[in-house]
């Protein structure tokens, strides 16, 4: 874990877009999937080229962060993948398509990934997380308020794909 007492006036953009931050985001995802679900997960360059994103019934969970930096952690997966996650969380018990436990599980997954990620990078140590929001449907787009930086990663797990996006709003010099 990194020390939160570093000079927070260093470049926030450099910290956010750094290789260390990307590696830490990967490690956070892998740790949550391994410990909570028992799933092996691997980072991939791009999703399956046959995947028609507009036609998929998807779910997106978002956890905002604010403090020394402002932005959001977003995970996006198919509804089938979300059902796989909730079944793993509930010890193998399947959930019905409209069951609220699917949104609860996806929100908790996003919260765990966001928390693990933000606690390991010094510039984010003094950020707080919002409760998760979950969106579902087809052919939708999530808009964020003026993001100036974005990290986007894809992961494969249990035959499914997860898309993680970390958004960070433009900020001036950080005051401490």
What is the Cα–Cα distance from 167 to 2, expressed in whole angstroms? 21
Residues 6+ apart with CB under 8 A from 39: 33, 88, 157, 158
Q: Check if the beta carbon of residue 61 is closer than 8 Å to that of residue 110.
A: yes
| 47 neighbors 166 (Cβ within 8 angstroms) | no
| Domains of the chain listed by start with CATH number | 55-176 (3.40.1550.10)
pLDDT in tens, 126-136: 788 999 999 98
Confidence of residue 4 (pLDDT cuts 50, 70, 90): very low
Please report the pLDDT score of residue 51 as a whole number: 53
What is the C-alpha separation between 3 and 28, in angstroms, rounded? 17
What length is written for the chain? Answer: 176
Looking up tokens 């450099």 gives 14
In 3D space, the residue among 23, 102, 96, 21 whose CA is nearest the CA of residue 59 turns out to be: 102
Q: Is the model's pLDDT at 108 over the cut of 90? A: yes
pTM of the model: 0.83
Q: Are 61 and 107 in contact (CB under 8 A)?
A: yes
Residue 21 has pLDDT above 90, yes or no: no
């Amino acid at each position: 874990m990194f020390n939160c007492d570093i000079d927070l006036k260093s470049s926030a953009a450099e910290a956010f877009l750094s290789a260390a931050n990307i590696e830490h985001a990967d490690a956070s995802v892998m740790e949550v999937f391994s410990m909570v679900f028992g799933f092996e997960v691997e980072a991939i360059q791009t999703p399956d080229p046959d995947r028609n994103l507009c036609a998929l019934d998807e779910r997106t969970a978002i956890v905002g962060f604010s403090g020394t930096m402002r932005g959001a952690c977003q995970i996006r997966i198919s509804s089938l993948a979300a059902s796989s996650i909730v079944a793993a969380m509930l010890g193998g018990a399947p959930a019905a398509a409209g069951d609220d436990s699917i949104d609860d599980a996806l929100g908790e997954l996003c919260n765990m990934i966001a928390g693990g990620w933000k606690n390991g990078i010094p510039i984010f140590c003094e950020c707080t997380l919002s409760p998760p929001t979950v969106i579902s449907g087809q052919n939708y787009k999530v808009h964020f308020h003026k993001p100036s930086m974005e990290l986007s990663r894809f992961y494969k797990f249990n035959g499914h794909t997860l898309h993680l996006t970390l958004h960070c709003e433009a900020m001036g010099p950080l005051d401490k």
